[in-house]
Structure 1
Amino acid sequence: MRKIHVVTQKELVEMEKLHECTAVVIDVFLATSTIILALDHGFTSVRAVKDAQTALSVAKTSPKDSYLLLGESKGEEIDGFIYPDPFLLLDERYSKEKELILCSTNGTVAINVARESKTLFVSSLINGQAVAKRIHAADDDSSIVFICSGNDNRFSLEDYIGAGQVIHYLRKNAGEYSLSDSAIGALLCYQSAKERTFSDLYRCETARMLADYGFEQSIDMILGKVDKIETVPIYHNGKMVKEIPNLN
């Protein structure tokens, strides 16, 4: 029976225990929603890096005009970077046939923590059902570890609920799973939030911070697209991509 565990924030991850696991990183209100929407809207790939310095180093080795540089640090804008607002990815001014180079305080750090896992997906409320289908369909019996990015070494309720969403659909797909206490808690939180159409998430710390910075429309968009996106980003050769190329 496959085991499911939820790590409530990235700082609690024991990297050496992920090598034989399927990992799912969640950062609902920023990084993972940005990655999902970018790939869903035609961007070729996303390089999720841990900080601005790394992002600039990657950009220097990339062909000119082949990428967009997105990033934030502790919620603040970074000079020379586009703010990673998921809503902006719908703007037709941005060419979609490019790679995104993305750094953030939480989500991209969590992705780098999990990069040595057997398989690495990213999830958000917008694609949780699709993530569950992808995991369920895989011929794999590895343990599933959900990594909630959190908010700068603090727990984030929206990420925990996002983990519960995928767990809900995994169980609905009639899979046999053994849930840890943190996984049971995430499932219960998701079920409660869904009953109230996720309205409580507007009260979360991250949502309030983004609203203070003027990004209310992104929160509205994410909560308005729950389970509406089929794209499931997967980590391959240092990038998040829509599909792993068939090398046969």
Structure 2
Amino acid sequence: MTVKKNLEVCFSPALLHLYDTKGKVVVIIDIFRATSTITAALANGAEKVVPVASVEECIALGASTPNSITAGERNGQVAPGLQYGNSPLEYPEEFISGKILNLTTTNGTRLLHQVEDADTIIIGSFLNLSAVCDFLIAQDKDVLLGCASWKDRPNMEDNLFAGAVVRKVQSYFDIKCDSAMIAGSMYDDALRRPDLLSYLKVGSHYERLANFGLLKDLEYCTQVDIHPVVPILKNNALVLEKVTTI
């Protein structure tokens, strides 16, 4: 009899130390907006996305790397010294194709740098939900869904995406993680609403970004399966490679 692999959900980087990531596939989740931006940029032809921890490192990397741009945010707004922000709408094909995107964000890139010893690190968003799920099923490895949260405080949108993954892959994995059960219940509730964004409107991060005039970003980030790609971390950069799916 085939033994199912385990799937767990970590709601915050502050809880990451409670999970063993060695040998696992780790999915980095930052729906509003880092992982959505990474997915969109690569789907639209970016050569690679280089996730960096600090604004200073991002600026230096941009200055020393030909055909690259610097981008990112702090507290939801473009960080001083960077050329572009953390909006997926800033990176259409006609702009980003063939370029290197050096990206630093408040939460998502920070979590990515915290993960150690994983077998594989990939990027998850609603934009590539089914591609991520197919990839996880095909790998036949234990999985950790890592939510970037907001400054270590769990948020609705990342947990909701984790719940969507749980529901779509639950028949393939052994899931005995309470966080996964909570996330799955959130997704069940969200499916009763007109759309995912209407479910998330009570969240603090929705309110924060909407107040910055970024409603179009939020609408874009909650579209499902418009980019059937799987960004994967290779040599400290996120790229699109031919990956094994079901």
For residues 47 and 244 of structure 1, do their structure 2 counterparts lie closer, same or farther at Cα, with a shift above 3 Å needed? farther
Bigger shift: 181-190 or 7-16?
Answer: 7-16
Q: Secondary structure at the match of 2:175?
A: strand
CA distance in 1, matches of 2:80, 2:181: 42
Deviation at 1:76, TM superposition (A): 2.9
Say which of 38, 58, 62 aligns to 1:59: 62
Shift of 1:77: 2.1
Cα distance in 1 between the residues matched to 2:125 and 2:154: 16
Residue matched to 2:80:
79
Residue 179 of structure 1 aligns to a residue whose secondary structure is coil
> 1:91 Cα deviation (Å)?
7.2
What is the match of residue 106 of structure 1?
107
Q: Which runs of 5+ in 1 are unaligned?
A: none
Which deviates more from structure 2 when the two are superposed, residues 10-19 or residues 204-213? 10-19
Residue matched to 2:24: 21
Q: CA RMSD in A?
A: 1.8
Alignment partners' CA distance in 2, 1:72 and 1:116 = 27
Partner amino acid, structure 2, of 1:119: T
1:226 is the counterpart of 2:228: no
Task: Give the TM-score of the pair, scaled to structure 2.
Answer: 0.90
State the percentage of identical aligned residues.
Answer: 27
Whether the 8 Å contact between 2:33 and 2:221 is mirrored in structure 1 is: no
Q: Aligned equivalents of 1:10 and 1:16: distance in 2?
A: 10
Specify the alignment match of 1:37 in structure 2. Answer: 40
How much does 1:205 deviate? 1.3
1:126 aligns with 2:119: no
What is the total number of aligned residue pairs between the two structures?
237
Structure 2 residue ranges without an equivalent (≥5):
none
C-alpha distance in structure 2 between counterparts of 1:216 and 1:178, whole Å? 34
> What SS class does the counterpart of residue 155 from structure 1 fall into?
coil
In the alignment, is residue 242 of structure 1 matched against residue 245 of structure 2?
no
2: CA distance, partners of 1:111 / 1:135? 18
Aligned CA distance change for structure 1 residues 7 and 69 (closer, same or farther; 3 Å):
same
The Cα shift of 1:10 comes to 1.2
Asked if structure 2 preserves the Cα contact closer than 8 Å seen for 1:129 and 1:165, the reply is no
User: Residue 195 of structure 1: SS of its match in structure 2?
Assistant: coil
Question: CA separation of 1:179/1:229 partners in 2, compared to 1, >3 Å: closer, same or farther?
Answer: farther
For 2:165, the equivalent position in structure 1 comes to: 166
Q: What is the deviation of 1:115?
A: 5.2
Q: 2: distance between equivalents of 1:116 and 1:154? A: 24
TM-score, normalization by structure 1: 0.89
**Is structure 2 residue 53 aligned with structure 1 residue 50?**
yes
Q: 1:91–1:233: structure 2 CA closer, same or farther, 3 Å change rule? A: closer
Displacement of 1:2:
1.0
Q: Read off the aligned partner of 1:89 and give its amino acid letter.
A: Y
- Looking at structure 2, the residues matched to 37 and 227 of structure 1 have their Cα atoms a distance apart, in angstroms, of 11
In the TM superposition, what whole-angstrom CA distance separates every residue of 1:113-164 from its partner, at most 9, and x where no partner exists? 12541111110122112101011112x3x32111100001211111001111
Aligned CA distance change for structure 1 residues 15 and 51 (closer, same or farther; 3 Å):
farther
The amino acid across from 1:49 in the alignment is: V
Shift, 1:17, TM fit: 2.2
CA distance, structure 2, for counterparts of residue 179 and residue 130 of structure 1: 24
Task: Tell me if the contact between 1:121 and 1:232 (Cα under 8 Å) persists in the aligned partners.
Answer: yes
